[in-house]
Structure 1
Amino acid sequence: MSVKEIILITGANTGIGYEVVKALYNSSVSSDILVGSRKLENAEKAIAELQKEGSKGDSGLTPLVIDISSDDSIRKAVEQVSKSHGRIDALINNAGSSFDGKGQSGEMTLREAFNASRDVNVSGTHVLTHEAIPLLLKSSNPRLLFVTSGTSALSETERFDYPPLARLNASPEAGWPKPNTGNPVISYRSSKTGLNMLMREWAKTLKNDGVKVWAISPGFLATGLGGVGAEQLKKMGARDPSEGGQFIKDVIEGKRDEDQGKVIRATMVQPW
């Protein structure tokens, strides 16, 4: 009987995270997937949905309460995994959020929106990784993934040949204040660029420990991130989130090992 891989994924009850869990759950590679969510009931609901659909493999699903904006929640989650599983073979830092819309609407101040985006997308991810490293180093083949964004590439902020980037990179008319139009992403985009540097720092730090590290750019997918709505995003050219799930599963299963230490897309290395 083969030993199951222990895979922890944050933000696993919705969006890309859910699709990653689904892809791993149906893989022929056996694993115990720790379904991380801020609320237990949300993780349990996601697990129930997947179990109802059935699985092509023999992987297991375990709920895990973890809120990466809380150091206490992170510590409790890592302690729980330490007691229940003793190690982590792959940590998928998927949990992320965008607060630009709340900053634009006035629900949050500009500073609050910026700080909240960075707190979740960079700071919380960094703290969790730091706390989880001792468990990751107990694996014989440790993998560390950071889910970033295709909008994070500095070199692509001047691209206008791809419609989604053309919309993001377009400059508004002269005058102040600027109109609140489109999908605001300034704090989200900035924090994901910071996440890319965080990945590089961890790749450097863990190089001699044999940990394979990536930043994953899953592509323009129709998820609920940013509050725009999946259907509206599809009209803008977004693809099905299941594609992101399959891509990340492939990385976990060794299909992009030659690109470790880089930001990768499904078919290429993303430019910096």
Structure 2
Amino acid sequence: MASNPIILITGANTGLGLETVKALLRSPKAYTILLGGRSLNKANAAAKEVQAEFPRSPSVVKAIQVDIEDDDSISKAFDNVANEYGRVDVLINNAGAQFDQQFIFGNMTMREIWNKSWNLNTTGTCILTHTFVSLLLKSSDPRLIFITSGMSTLAESENASIKLNQSPAKGWPKKEPAIAAYRSSKTGMNMMMREWTRILREDGVKVWCISPGFLATGLGGNQDMNKQMGAQDPSIGANFVRDVVEGARDQDTGKVVRRDGVQPW
């Protein structure tokens, strides 16, 4: 059994997940990082790449196959981690996606984008968490993290200085870059985090949603467009995730945290 803290990150072979792995590798602390990905080949390739990039890191990276839309995959991942490590110290629910543009492009129906958004971002995340809780409870300092969005806040949804909150011109149909399915699923995730906070309070599990900011990842399928819209380097969000892992926001458990404070509901 590994003596290092064991950190499982879902959706970690690309985007914010991969940058979080790198941020942890830059830490002077030693971790066993389980890099989760839907494709074991892609997860293995990413694990080898980052380990080679940080050869002097005290941490180690291991690939693990897990698809949070597939219950059998989740169960197998649990068995693998339970048999190999016996516990999980930090679970980072990072896997997620934004499908709204696929409706605009005609690739998916409206029902498909809404169902898939909730199935992946909310339902699958909850099922994975439920499956791994028993391993979290074997940790001396269990931490449970959900990656949410700045667009999930109800309180700030009337802030018209944010383009996505501005109302389009009257008439129908509307031609706008709406992301209603994505942001709604992340709002649901915030409530799910509150439920896990309640359920695990007496077990001493520290729980957060992390709102990492608008990052230049491939979320929504267009990294270049996100950059043009002012998105920040993903490493900024990843460093914040690492800070939460390492105790910087322990006073804000049960809340949605962002770099400049607590995100309103």
Residue 246 of structure 2: which of 225, 249, 253 is its match? 253
Equivalent pair of 1:94/1:147 in contact (CA under 8 Å) = yes
Partner of 1:262: 255
| Residue 215 (structure 1) aligns with | 209
Distance 1:123 1:104 in 2: 24
Q: Which ranges of 4 or more aligned residues in structure 1 deviate by more than 4 Å?
A: none
Letter of the structure 1 residue corresponding to residue 17 of structure 2 = G
Q: Is the 8 A contact 2:51 2:60 kept in 1?
A: no
Matching of residue 171 in structure 1 with residue 167 in structure 2: yes
Partner of 1:201: 195
- Give me the whole-angstrom Cα distance separating, in 2, the residues matched to 1:60 and 1:49: 12
Residue 101 of structure 1, CA deviation: 1.2
- Per the alignment, residue 243 of structure 1 pairs with 236
Secondary structure in 1 matching 2:79: helix
Structure 1 residue 170 displacement after superposition: 1.1
Aligned residues between the structures: 264
Q: CA separation in 2, counterparts of 1:228 and 1:157?
A: 23
Specify whether residues 257 and 55 from structure 1 end up closer, same or farther in structure 2 by C-alpha distance, changes over 3 A only.
farther
Q: Which runs of 5+ in 2 are unaligned?
A: none
Q: TM-score normalised to the size of structure 1?
A: 0.95
Cα separation, 2, equivalents of 1:54 and 1:157: 40
State the match for 1:17 in structure 2: 17
Counterpart secondary structure, 1:108: coil
Structure 2 counterpart of 1:48? 48
CA contact (8 A) 1:25 1:55 kept: no
Identical aligned residues as a percent: 54
Counterpart-to-counterpart distance in 1, 2:50 and 2:103: 35
Matching of residues 44-193 of structure 1 within 5 Å: 44-161=44-161, 166-179=162-175, 181-182=176-177, 184-193=178-187
Superposed, which structure 2 residues align to 1:25-40 within 5 Å? 25-40=25-40
Unaligned residue ranges in structure 1 (runs of 5+): none
Query: Aligned-pair distance for 1:56?
Result: 4.3
The alpha carbon displacement at 1:14 in A equals 0.6
Q: Secondary structure at the match of 1:215?
A: strand
CA distance in 2, matches of 1:202, 1:81: 21
Give the Å deviation of 1:106. 2.1
Task: State how far apart, in whole Å, the 1-side matches of 2:32 and 2:246 are.
Answer: 14
More displaced, 186-195 or 43-52?
A: 43-52
Q: How far does the alpha carbon of each residue in 1:131-157 deviate from its partner, in whole angstroms, 9 at most, with x for none?
A: 000000000000000000000000111
* Per-residue deviation, 1:26: 1.8
1:3 to partner: Cα distance: 2.4
In the superposition, the TM-score normalised over structure 2's length comes to 0.97
Distance in 2 of aligned mates of 1:55 and 1:24: 13
Deviations 1:189-221 (A, max 9, x none): 000000000000000000000000000000011
Alpha-carbon distance between aligned partners in 1 of 2:189 and 2:56, rounded to the nearest angstrom: 34
Query: Alignment RMSD, CA only?
Result: 1.1
